[in-house]
Structure 1
Amino acid sequence: MIAYSLFKEISLSGRYISMDLLNVSCFSKLNAPIVQIGKSVDGEIIKAFSIGRGATKVLMWSQMHGNESTTTKAVWDMVNFLGTQDELALAILEQCTLMIVPMLNPDGAKAYTRVNSNQIDLNRDAKERSQPESQALRQLFQNFKPHFCFNLHDQRTLFSAGNVAKPATVSFLSPASNKERDLTSNREVAMQVIVAMNNKLQELIPGQVGRYDDGFNDNCVGDAFQMAGVPTILFEAGHYPKDYQREKTREYIFYALVEALTTIANNTFPNYSTSDYFKIPENEKLFFDIIVDNANSVNPNIEIGHRIGIRYKEVLEDGTILFKPEIAEIGLLTEYFGHGTWDCSDSEENLPAEIMDLVLTVS
C-alpha cells in the first residue's frame, strides 16, 4: 500500500483552491515545463504540463467547475508521488505520458463558482465552445491526441452509493457517446479501468463507491470526447463522513488515480469485466447534511412526525468556505439519511444555534 501521507501536498488544504495558490505553492516547484494552453475570460493564464515519456497518452483536467477543488488537491498529491523513485511511479512514467491541466477554470475558482466569468458552465459548452477555456481544452485535446481522458470533478453531499445509508465518497462514469448509450469499444475500455479502481477502493471504503448517471448530453465534455473515440472517465469526489474539507476524499481520489494509471501502464484493463462496472450502485440523492427529528417539540408549527432536512450552502468569505445551513425539505423523509442527525426532544442534546434558529423560523 502506498504511504499516502508521504506525498500529500501540504500547501493545499480545504475547499478554496485558487490559481494564485497553485502558482505560489505548486507550479513554482514543479519539475516539468509549464505550457500556456490559453487564457480565461478574465485573462488568467491556463497552465498545463506534461510528465512521463511513455507511448500511452493520458489527458486529465480538474476544476472545470471552479468550486470543485478536491481533485485538484489529489492531482498534486499524485504528481508528488510520480516525482519519486518508487518502482510503481517509475513504471507509470515509463509507459505513459500525462498531460495535466490542474485548473481549467481559474476565474470560477477565484470566485468559488461552478461557472466561468461569463456565467457559462464549461461542461455544457462542448459543442459551441463559446468560451476561451473550452477552446483551450479542445485545442489541447486535438494537439495531444490522448488515448485516455480523466475528467475530474466534485459532487454534492446529497449523493448516496445506491439505496443505502452510505455516501458516494467517490463516483465514476464511463460517459455515453450516443442517446442509445451503446457500449462502444472505447466506452468499454473506460468501464474496465473503472472496475480496477473500484476494486481498489472497495478495500478502503467498502460500499462508498457510486456510479454516476450516464444520460447522454453531447454538450458535456466527457460525452464529446467519448464520441471522438477516446476512453473517457468521469471522476466525482464526494463526501466522506465528517470530512467537509474533503481531505479524506482527496486521499481516495489519489489512490484511484494511481490505480487507473497503473492499470493503463500495465495494459491490464482487458482483465476486467464490463459487467462488474454495472454492479457498482448508481448514485441516488438520499442524503441531507443534517436531519432534525421531533422538531415539533420546539416549534408547534411543524407537524408531529415530520423531519427537517437541511443542506449546507457553501459561501466564500475572506478566502474561506463557510457552510451555511438551509432548510431543503420538510416532511416524513423516511427514505432519506443524514450525515448528521439532531433530536429536538432530547434534552441532553442541544442543537447548534444556527440550526435551532432555522427550526424556529418554520411557520
Structure 2
Amino acid sequence: MDLEQLHHLYKEPSISGRYITLKDIEPILNRLNKNSELNNIGKSVQDRAIYSYQIGSGKIKIFLWSQMHGNESTTTKALFDFLNFLHSDSDIAKQFLKKFTFLAIPMLNPDGAFLYTRANANDVDLNRDSQNLTQPESKLLRNTFESFQPDYCYNLHDQRTIFGVDTTGVPATLSFLAPAYNEAREINENRLNAINVIASINKELIKYLPDGIGRFDDSFNINCIGDTFQSLGAATILFEAGHFPDDYAREQTRKFVFMSLIVSFQSFCENDIVINRLSEYLNIPQNKVVFYDFIYKNVKINYDGIEKITNFAAQYKEELIDNNVCFNAYISEIGNLEGFFAHHEYDAKGATYSDDESNFPKIGQKANFKLDNSINYVNGLIKN
C-alpha cells in the first residue's frame, strides 16, 4: 500500500493552511452526507453548530475529535482526507467500514476556530474542562462519548514548533501518547491497547519520518480529556501534529497524520495490536522543548557602551489579521542558548546588530534588524 499516493488521491482540496473554520468544513460535511451520516449535536458558546459524522457498521467503535483547540487545524484537514478515503471504492476502505464504526466530531470548538484561539469563546481551555464540564462544548463531547461508548478514542491535536525529538535536533513532526489513567501512571488493559496502536503506527511511519516521531509527556491530569476517557475505560490515543521543515502551513504534517490513521486501522485488521508492544512504545524518544523558529549566533551588540558577542532567538506568533493567519517573528530569548535548535539558524560571525531603536535586541520586539548595517532582516528572515 502506497500511503503517500493514497493521500494524494483523497486529500480534500477545498481546505488548506492553518485557518480552518466552520464555514470551510460545512460544505464538505454536507457533500459527504450521503446516507444521513451527519448530525447537528448542539451549539457552541457563540451559537455555532457542532457536528458529528458517523460511518461504518463494524463492532469496533472509534471516536475521533479535532479542533478542541480552535487554532489546531492540521488534524481536521487530515480527518477530512480520511473521510474522503472512506467514501472511496478502495478495498481497504470497504474493509474498514465493515470492521469499524467511526464517529467523528471534526470541529469541537468552532468559536475558537473562528477566533483562531486555543480556548473557546469563554476563554476556557476545553482540554482542562473534562471534570467540571462548565462549557457547552465539553458537555457535548462527554454526552457523545457516553452515548457512543467507544472502544478507542482518537484525541487529535497540533503542537507548537518548539518541540523536538529528544535532543536530536530534529523537529517532532508527529507525537503520540497513550495517556495515563491514574496518578501512578500504571498500565492496564485499555492503556496497553492504546500503546500497541501507537507502536504499530510508529513502526510504519518511521519509514517516512525516520527521526521525526516523538512520545508526548504522560504526566497525569484528570482534567485533561484524554486522561479522563482513559480512566473511563476507553483506550485513548493522543495525536500531536507538529512541525515539518519549512512546512508552517502544515500540509506535509497533514499527510503524515492521514497516513497514521490509515496505518492504525490497518493494524487492527491485521491483528497487529494484540502483541504487548510496551518496549517498542517506550523506545519512541520523548518530546522536548528545544526549538526556536530562529536563532542568530555570534552577534556583536553594544550595550551601554560595552561591546560583546551574544546569541538571540526569535519565535513566530500566529496572529489572525483580516482573516489570515500571519506568522510574525518576535525576539524571545537572548543569551547562550546552549542545547537549543532552530528551524532557521544564522551565524552572524561577529557582525554588529542594530535596529531602528537601539544597538541591542530586546525581548518582545519584532525581529526586524540589521547586521553591519548592510544585511537586513525582516520578520526574522534575510530580506533579499
* Equivalent position of 2:176 in the other structure: 172
Secondary structure, in 3 states, of the residue corresponding to 1:181? coil
Unpaired stretches in structure 1, ≥5 consecutive residues: 358-363
- Alignment map for 1:151-170 (pairs within 5 Å): 151-170=155-174
> 1:327 corresponds to which residue?
331
Q: Secondary structure at the match of 2:94?
A: helix
Structure 1 Cα separation of the partners of residues 241 and 308 of structure 2 = 37
CA distance in structure 2 between the partners assigned to 1:327 and 1:26 by the alignment: 41
- 1:70-89 mapped onto 2 (5 Å cutoff): 70-89=74-93
Q: 1:322 to 1:303 in 2, by over 3 A?
A: farther
Structure 1 residue 306, shift from structure 2 partner: 2.1
* TM-superposed deviation, 1:261: 1.5
TM-score normalised over the length of structure 2: 0.89
Secondary structure of the residue aligned to 1:76 is: helix
**Residues 211-270 of structure 1, C-alpha deviation per residue, up to 9 Å, x if partnerless?**
000000000000000000110000000000000000000000000011111223443201
**Structure holding more strand per residue:** 2
Letter paired with 2:16: S
List structure 1 runs of 4+ shifted beyond 6 angstroms: 346-349
CA distance in 2, matches of 1:310, 1:272: 43
Out of 285, 291, 298, the residue aligned to residue 281 of structure 1 is 285
Equivalent residue number for residue 196 of structure 2: 192
**Cα distance change of structure 1 residues 86 and 110 upon mapping to structure 2, 3 Å threshold:** same
Greater shift in the superposed pair: 71-80 or 348-357: 348-357
Count of paired positions: 355
Which of 235, 239, 242 is equivalent to 1:238? 242
Distance 1:115 1:219 in 2: 15
Q: Greater shift after overlay, 3-12 or 213-222?
A: 3-12
Question: In 2, are the aligned partners of 1:192 and 1:272 still within 8 Å (CA)?
Answer: yes
Cα distance change of structure 1 residues 272 and 185 upon mapping to structure 2, 3 Å threshold: closer
Name the counterpart of 1:124: 128
* 22-31 vs 175-184, which moves further: 22-31
The DSSP-based 3-state class of the residue aligned with 2:207 is: helix
Please tell me the root mean square deviation across aligned C-alpha atoms, in Å: 1.8
| Equivalent pair of 1:60/1:151 in contact (CA under 8 Å) | yes
Is the 1:289–1:311 contact (alpha carbons within 8 Å) kept by the matching residues of 2?
yes
CA distance, structure 1, for counterparts of residue 66 and residue 92 of structure 2: 23
- Corresponding position of 1:133: 137
- 2:345 corresponds, among 341, 346, 349, to 341
- Which amino acid in the other structure matches residue 92 of structure 1? F
Gaps of 5+ in 2: 352-370
CA distance in structure 2 between the partners assigned to 1:253 and 1:136 by the alignment: 25
Offset, 1:290? 0.5
Q: How far does the alpha carbon of each residue in 1:92-128 deviate from its partner, in whole angstroms, 9 at most, with x for none?
A: 1110000010000000000000000010000000001
Contact kept, 8 Å, 1:96 with 1:265, in 2: the verdict is no
Match of 1:354 in 2: 379
Identity of aligned residues (%): 42
Q: 1:43 is aligned with what amino acid?
A: D
Does the aligned pair in 2 maintain the 1:342–1:351 contact within 8 Å? no
CA distance in structure 1 between the aligned counterparts of 2:308 and 2:85, rounded to whole angstroms: 54
User: 1:354 Cα deviation (Å)?
Assistant: 3.2
Matched, 1:14 2:17: yes
Instruction: Note closer, same or farther for the CA distance 1:356–1:99 as it changes in structure 2 (3 Å cut).
Output: closer
Distance in 1 separating the partners of 2:381 and 2:87: 49
Q: Which amino acid aligns with 2:295?
A: I
